[in-house]
Structures are given as C-alpha cells and as structure tokens.
C-alpha cells in the first residue's frame, strides 16, 4: 500500500475519481431541489403554488373574486440562508386594510423570509373585488320531525335565541328567505332538548353559504298530551247580600289550555270553569279557585284561577215600554196580546249603577209563553230574561192576557195550541240566555257566561214577583 501511495500516478488517479464523485453529488442535489448554483456561491430556489393571504375586515367586507389566487415565489441567496426558509413562517400577503369596496389591482408583499434572501413574487400584483357586507336579523324556524309516543303530541319548539344574524354582501341580502334547523322527536315520551345547527335557505329552497351568528341554537320541544286553547266559561251561584249588587266579575285569564285525548279536545268549544259563589257578598273580593277537571280532560292550564268580584250598593232604574214577546206559538193558530193593549210593560230593575246605565231595551226580554195552551183567552205570567247581575225590582207581578184562535182552514184545528210548538219559542228563550217556564218571570238564576262577560239569566221563574 505504501508503494502505491508513493506512486505519483496512482495518487493522481485517486484524486480524479474523488473529484468526479463530488461533482456528481453536487449536481444531483441541485436537480432534486430545483436550486440553481452560481459560481459566486449564491443559488436560487423556486416555490410554486403559494396561496395569497388577504388581510381585511371580514366583518365589513367580502372578497368576491381574486385573480390569481396563488403565485410563484423565487428565492435567491446563500445556501445557509435558503435553508432557514420555512413554510410555516412565510406568507404572501395582500393588504386590503385601507381599501374600500370595488375592484382594485394591488401589489403583493412577501413576509417572514430571512432578510438575507432576495424574494421575487410572480406575478407581483393581483386583481381583487371587494364587496361590503350587510347584517340581517332573521327569525329561526325549527322543523319538528317524527311522531312522539302513543297518545302524545309535540308542542311548540322553544328556541334560544329565536333570532340570529346572517352576514352577506349587500347585493345578496334579499336572497335569504329563512334560517332553519331540524329536531327529531320520534317516539319521545318527554321533552326533547338538543343543540341544533342552522342553515340559511334561499327563495329557491336551496341552502345558501352565508355567515350565521350564532350558527347553533338551543332547542327544546315539549312532549305533552294533545291540547287546545278555548274560552273560559264561568257559572255564578247565589246572590249578594240585600242592598248590594255585582258590578263586575273579572277573571285573571279569559282563556285556558285543556289537555286530553285528541278526540276529546277537538270537541271542546269552551271550558266550564269553577262556580263563582256570590252568596251574601257585601264587599269586593278576590277569589282564588282551583280549576276543575271536567269530562275526559286530564289537565287545565292554569291550574289555579284568580277572580276579582266587584260589589257595589244596589241602585234601581225604570225601563218603560218594553215589548212583550210571545214564545211557544203553533203555526196553525193566531196568537195575540190582548192585555195590555199596547203590548208593552214598564219595569223597575235592580243592579249596579254602571250595568243599569249601559242597558237598552234590546238587552231586556219580557216573554209570554203560550206552549201547550188551547184556543181561547188565557191569563199568563210575564217572564223576564235579564242580563247577568240584574234583578227585577219592587214591581207588582207582571201578567198578560193572550187570545189564541185557529187560522181559517188550518189543518189540525181544535188541537191544543201548544201541541205543535215550533222551535221559534225555544229559540227565543235560548237567545236570551235562558229557558222560560210558565208561572212567572226570571230571576238572576245561575247564568253560565263567557268569562268576564255578563249575560242573560236562566229562565227559572222568580216566585212571588
């Protein structure tokens, strides 16, 4: 070996082989990295498909177009400097912070590269269109899917918040038709609570890509028995103390929600609430009463009802020339009032001053019932159908004389006048809110009326009046 190393020709051959190997290694590395070496020790690198990072107020503006969206970056510098270039540290930036809406051609900036590296961006300018963003408040619509457990019903979804903001360019503001979410209640037996992701829907029914804030809302769907909201009806029993009258009855609610089977709640047109006992009242009073469960109703909301009863001293007012109305007539007979000849009566009525002052003759019915009376002349009592909380005053008993005779050629002559009573008589009594009966005029009775609305009394005669 020492002889070989001492041979000049052998050393030259080894040196030549080593030089060729080093040359090949250097050029192979340049081919793999795309780096061009120059004789001065400076080399070049090229980075393709570099994304542009725009800087702008995304709350106010939207970039509707940018051309190009990616660029090529050429780097030039010493190898030691180029090795410091990291993809996580550099950016190609488009500064739009001081740019207003519209179309602009702007320069790009290279940020995050070592100062010893020369950077060239190709192309170095881009064309960008900036649109102003608008914000619109839109109600949230929750679509309930599925069917709850047997006999149960999904209630109205409770959404928090129930309105959200959508942000999009002013030119597209009218595109948003609604913001919707969906919740499934299939086979649920209790309330369903869930966070629901929202989506904006356009006028064509398609989903729109817009910013929604917040994008997720809390939704709760109550699961209950079938229910229905109906007017509340109250029934009054008894009368106030002597010398006092009811001026008004005001319930806290005039409608209630009733629960039960679907078949039963569908039949309800109103709900009979608790009986209001007026017996012996001599001063105003607030009553708190439990709502009764009637029929197949399983629940009533509210379960408790507060009722304000206003009691005032009784006043008396005269009503003159109140017309007498005949009920219970047979179509085969002519029936007329013989006494009084005018067919009218004068009345004294008791009640609260405010109620009496609001009455007109149309609110009062003086009824003569001829049901089941045969042809001839008959003396019958006059019955009164009066508004709720109004009573007959100290008036002598009212009576009238009626004459009944068969119509000429009418079939069925000789049969009792009331044998074929038409529905008109019953209708007349019902329209006044009561069921007239022979033997006297009506009292205040037990009126069943819509909550807070005084109405006619029942048709039970008030004995001795």
Longest Cα separation, the chain:
168
- Residue 455, classified by CB atoms within 10 Å of its CB into exposed (0-12), middle (13-18) or buried (19+), is middle
d(CA 237, CA 289): 15
Of 246, 314, 238, give the one whose Cα is nearest residue 284: 246
| pLDDT computed for residue 12 by the predictor | 73
Tell me whether the omega of the peptide bond preceding residue 302 falls within 30 degrees of 0, making it cis: yes
| pLDDT computed for residue 435 by the predictor | 32
| pLDDT computed for residue 307 by the predictor | 96
Which tens digits make up the pLDDT trace of 365-392? 999 999 999 999 999 999 999 999 999 9
Helices (H), 34-182: 79-82
d(CA 92, CA 315): 93
Regions in the chain scoring below 50 on pLDDT: 29-39, 413-465
| pLDDT computed for residue 11 by the predictor | 63
Of 436, 465, 449, 454, give the one whose Cα is nearest residue 389: 454
Which tens digits make up the pLDDT trace of 271-328? 999 999 999 999 999 999 999 999 889 899 999 999 999 999 999 999 999 999 999 9
Of 330, 350, 313, 304, give the one whose Cα is nearest residue 406: 330
Contacts of residue 453, defined as CB under 8 A and 6 or more positions apart, other chains included, come to: none
| pLDDT computed for residue 340 by the predictor | 95
| pLDDT computed for residue 7 by the predictor | 64
């Amino acid at each position: 070996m020492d002889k070989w190393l001492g041979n000049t020709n052998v050393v030259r051959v080894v040196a030549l082989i080593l030089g060729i190997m080093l040359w090949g290694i250097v050029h192979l590395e340049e081919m793999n990295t795309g780096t061009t070496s120059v004789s001065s020790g400076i080399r070049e690198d090229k980075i393709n498909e570099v994304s542009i990072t725009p800087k702008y107020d995304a709350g106010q503006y939207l970039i509707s177009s940018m051309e190009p969206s990616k660029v090529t970056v050429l780097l030039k510098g010493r190898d030691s400097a180029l090795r410091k270039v990291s993809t996580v540290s550099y950016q190609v930036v488009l500064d739009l912070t001081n740019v207003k809406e519209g179309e602009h051609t702007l320069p790009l900036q290279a940020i995050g590269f070592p100062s010893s590296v020369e950077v060239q961006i190709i192309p170095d300018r881009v064309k960008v269109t900036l649109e102003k963003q608008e914000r619109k408040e839109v109600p949230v619509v929750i679509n309930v899917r599925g069917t709850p457990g047997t006999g149960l019903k999904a209630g109205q979804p409770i959404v928090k918040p129930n309105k959200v903001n959508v942000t999009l360019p002013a030119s597209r503001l009218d595109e948003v038709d609604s913001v919707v979410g969906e919740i499934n209640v299939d086979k649920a037996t209790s309330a369903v609570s869930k966070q629901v992701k929202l989506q904006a829907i356009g006028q064509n029914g398609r989903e729109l890509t817009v910013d929604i804030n917040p994008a997720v809302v809390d939704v709760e769907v109550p699961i209950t028995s079938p229910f229905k909201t109906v007017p509340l009806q109250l029934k009054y029993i008894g009368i106030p103390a002597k010398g006092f009258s009811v001026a008004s009855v005001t319930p806290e609610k005039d409608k209630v929600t009733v629960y039960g089977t679907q078949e039963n709640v569908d039949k309800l047109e109103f709900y009979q609430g608790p009986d209001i006992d007026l017996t012996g009242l001599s001063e105003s009073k607030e009553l708190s009463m439990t709502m009764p469960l009637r029929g197949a109703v399983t629940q009533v909301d509210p379960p408790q009802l507060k009722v304000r009863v206003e009691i005032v001293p009784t006043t008396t007012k005269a009503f003159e020339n109140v017309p007498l109305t005949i009920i219970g007539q047979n179509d085969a007979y002519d029936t007329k009032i013989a006494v009084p000849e005018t067919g009218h009566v004068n009345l004294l009525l008791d009640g609260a001053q405010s109620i009496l002052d609001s009455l007109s003759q149309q609110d009062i019915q003086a009824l003569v019932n001829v049901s089941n009376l045969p042809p001839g002349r008959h003396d019958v009592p006059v019955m009164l159908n009066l508004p709720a909380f109004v009573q007959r005053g100290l008036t002598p008993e009212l009576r009238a004389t009626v004459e009944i005779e068969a119509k000429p050629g009418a079939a069925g002559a000789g049969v009792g006048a009331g044998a074929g009573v038409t529905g008109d008589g019953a209708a007349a009594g019902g329209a006044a809110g009561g069921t007239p009966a022979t033997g006297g005029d009506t009292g205040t009775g037990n009126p069943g009326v819509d909550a807070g609305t005084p109405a006619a009394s029942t048709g039970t005669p008030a004995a001795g009046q």
